[in-house]
Every structure is written in C-alpha cells, then in structure tokens.
A = this chain, B = another copy of it.
Amino acid sequence: MIMEKGISSVEVLPSKSSQVTAVKVVVKEPTTKQTQRGKRVGFVLVHAGAGYHSESKAKEYKHVCKRACQKAIEKLQAGALATDAVTAALIELEDSPFTNAGLGSNLNLLGEIECDASIMDGKSLNFGAVGALSGIKNPVSVANRLLCEGQKGKLSAGRIPPCFLVGEGAYRWAVDHGIPACPPGIMATRFSLAAFKRNKRKLELAEKVETDLIQLKKRRQSNEKGSRVMCSAYGRPPKANDGVGKRGDQIELYSRENDSGTLDTVGAVVVDQEGNVAAAVSSGGLALKHPGRVGQAALYGCGCWAENTGAHTPYSTAVSTSGCGEHLVRTILARECSCALQTEDAHQALLETMQNKFIGSPFLANEDGVLGGVIVLRSCRCSAEPESSQEKPTLLVEFLWSHTTESMCVGYMSAQDGKAKTHISRLPPGAVAGQSVAIEGGVCRLESPDS
C-alpha cells in the first residue's frame, strides 16, 4: 500500500458569486513497483471540524484525529463492519473535550447540551440519526443502533422502524436499547462552560447595543429635521439601511477570537476490505443555539452520505460534512458531493461542487459567506497489474477534503500504516473565509489479501 499527497500549485478560479481560491492537489497514482504487499483491510479519513483551529491547540486536534483513525483501523482489522469502524472513530472524536461533539459540545441558550449525529451504510443504504439528543455520551452510538435495528426489518404488527429520533424520545429509545444514560454535568467541560459564559456575556452586550439603538432610532425618527445622529455604540453614523435598532450584529459570536463558537461537527468516512463504505457525523451544534435546533449532522443527505458501487454508481462514495448547519442543509451538500463524485476526475468534481453548489448556490444567495467543509472518499476496484494474466484486483481509494472555512483538521490511515497522518488544512493567505475554497487530498491503493 502506498499513500501520496502533494500540493502542487495555488490557482485562482473565477466564480460568478465570489472569488474562489483553490489549493489544487495533484493526485499521483503510485506505480505498481512502489506498492507494498499486504492485507487489504481498509482505509479511514476523519475530520475534527471545519472552522478555525488555533495554532495553540493544533497538537490536540491532530492527536484526536490520529486516535480516531487508529480506533477505526483496529475495528477493521478485527473484521468489523464499515459502520462499526466509522462509529469507533466518531466515539473517539466525540469523547475529546476539544471537539464540538459529544463531551465538550457547545451549550445552547439554556446552557444545555443537545447533540445531533447520523450514520449511513453504503452497502444497505440504511441511515440512522438522532437530533437534539441530551443525556447520552456518544450520540453516534444511538444513530448506529437505529441503523442496525432498521436493518432487521419491520417491528411487531408491521410497524416501520424509525430511522430518525429526536429529543426526549431519542433518549428513551437509547436507554431502552441498553445504551447507558450519561449523568448530567459530565458532558460539559471547563472549556465549554467558560465559552458558554463568554458567549452569554457577548450576547447580553449585543442585545444591550440593540436596545440602545432602538431608542436611538426612535429619537432620530422624532427629530423632524432629520439631522444625522452619531451612533456611539458603532462609533460611526448609522447607514440608512443597516438595520439600526434591529440587530447587534457587530458583536459577533462566531469570530476567530472565539474558538468555541467556530468549530462545528466531527466526522469520518471508511472503506472496508470488501469495498463497502460508511460515513458518520456528530455535532454539538452552534454555540447558544435555540433549544431544539437540529442541524445538518442529523439530516439525511446533509451531514453524511455513503453509497456502494451500484447500477448507476461506478464508484463507492462516502462523505461527511462540517460547518454552518443551515448552509449544509440547504445545499444537501453530502449527497450533492456523492453524486458529483461519480464523474471521472474526483478532484475537479469536488472543487466544482464546492464552487457551484455550495458557495455559488442559489439557496444561499443571501448569505454573506458560506461556511463549510467536507471529507470525501471514493473507491473502485481495479487491477494492480493489468498486463498480467494473474489478475489481482486492488481497491483504489481516493480521498479529499475541501473547505470554505479558515481551516479544517483531518487525519487518515490505512490498515497497513503504523500510524495515522494528520493535517490542518488552511485557506491560503489572502483567501476570504466563506468565499474561497481549499481542496487537498491523496490516493491509496489497497491490494487484495494474499490469502
């Protein structure tokens, strides 16, 4: 097995709606001579969120990605299903206090943790998801269990098994199915509680500014001469249509300085020995979200997608997304990427999807910036030695990540690797988050087991 990755050039591509900067990766196929013989057990690619990863915590982000990869590979080596391997990776990512998923998730407006997670199996095309789930340490385990139960067929009296459960009902179902409840107070960390307090203060300040501006506007309206009034809160005169008296937008919750609000969603994609793919995603959602808000991580087609080779799909594909939930939902981005990846050039297909179906999407035309990231994996069977009479089919795995956020932390590993490789991908200097795309990736060839 060999793995190669090389960033060759930075090219600026024009776009209708916005400037798009692409870090183009040349995906080099290894020559047969270079391949090392070994057992083909699978490959995993994980992400610890598309958002902003500070240099000071880079080591932690990379470390959790590495551990997540190892967990998935251990499962594959033990003969587990792709869905179980992807779940193992997600559990590791959820358990890290540095990610916004499971333990240490963003707190909502009421200071509670409500998680979204989903999983898809490329073989059966089954799906399991939970939304706004509290009181369970690993939301992805519940999603995986829903998927497994769904595969058993109908319930008694011909009832259709649920594939998506939310809130209290999801919690009860999980506990009834033997998934342990997590005592309150364990899920929030010192870090997430501090971020909550900081965010709450910001919000109060923003709302105070808003109230002040409403009063200011009233005074301005009552000034019949219409003379311009300086707005001290902004430190500049309010514009005619800048929403004065309505919003306190200048105090931004999701700013670069506020790590906890910018990271969203973790995920993984896996291909197993047989070429079956699986994908999963998990998120604590936006900081100070409204209770009951469900984001892309719980939604079919939006958070993750996995689809084995089929009659109309020459490639097996697996996708997991991250970023601003509302943007990922309205573009159904995971499924969109999967569909696009059925064309020959995976890199070009993904870049065009991020440009045209995400940043340039008519569904997000009114957004200032479109924030998200994806990891994708696609595989197909091919012959390692096409000229040889003894054909030895190998699995060609192409893997890519792409984001419009400032950064995205990823890790990847094949069953033959001693350890995972990790990387924090960043937009190139000068590129604008929300308007630019970074894209990188690689390829690996997994040979059939000798036995």
Contacts and interface: CB of A to CB of B under 8 A. Distances in A.
A207 B159 CA distance: 12
Interface string A156-167: 111111111111
Given A168-B167, A286-B160, A332 B300 contact: yes
A300 B330 contact: yes
A243 B154 CA distance: 11
Contact of A310 (B168, B311, B362): B362
A167 to B, nearest CB: 3
Given A290-B173, A330-B125, A332-B301, A203 B168 contact: no
B156 A243 contact: no
Given A125-B330, A167-B167, A159 B288 contact: yes
Interface stretch (A45-53, A251-259, A402-410): A251-259
Contact of A249 (B158, B168, B169, B247): B158
Interface stretch (A88-96, A228-236, A291-299, A314-322): A291-299
B292 A158 contact: no
Given A154-B249, A249-B154, A332-B300, A292 B160 contact: no
A358 interface: no
A289 interface: yes
B166 A247 contact: no
Contact of A165 (B156, B294, B325): B294
A341 interface: no
Nearest to A203: B157
B300 A162 contact: no
Contact of A162 (B155, B293, B366): B293
A153 interface: yes
Interface string A278-293: 0000000010111111
Max chain B C-beta neighbours (<10 A), residue from A203, A247, A335: A247
Max chain B C-beta neighbours (<10 A), residue from A157, A171, A326: A157
A159 to B, nearest CB: 6
Range class of the A interface residue count: 35 or more
Contacts of A311: 362
Contact of A253 (B159, B243, B293, B362): B159
- Copies of this chain, whole number: 2
Nearest to A152: B246
A103 to B, nearest CB: 21
B156 A291 contact: no
A363 interface: yes
A419 interface: no
B288 A329 contact: no
A69 B210 CA distance: 42
Contacts of A434: none
A172 interface: yes
A384 interface: no
A125 B363 contact: yes
A37 interface: no
Nearest to A124: B366
A290 B288 CA distance: 29
A156 B254 contact: no
A132 B330 contact: no
Contacts of A359: none
Interface of A: 114, 124-125, 127, 131-132, 153-173, 199, 202-203, 205-207, 210, 243, 247-249, 251-255, 286, 288-295, 299-302, 310-312, 324-326, 329-330, 332, 335, 362-363, 365-366
18 contacts: A154-B249, A156-B206, A156-B210, A157-B202, A157-B206, A157-B207, A159-B253, A159-B254, A159-B289, A160-B325, A160-B326, A162-B290, A166-B167, A168-B168, A300-B302, A300-B329, A310-B362, A311-B362
Q: Which 5 pairs, one residue from A and one from B, show the smallest C-beta to C-beta distance?
A: A169-B292, A167-B167, A169-B291, A157-B206, A162-B293
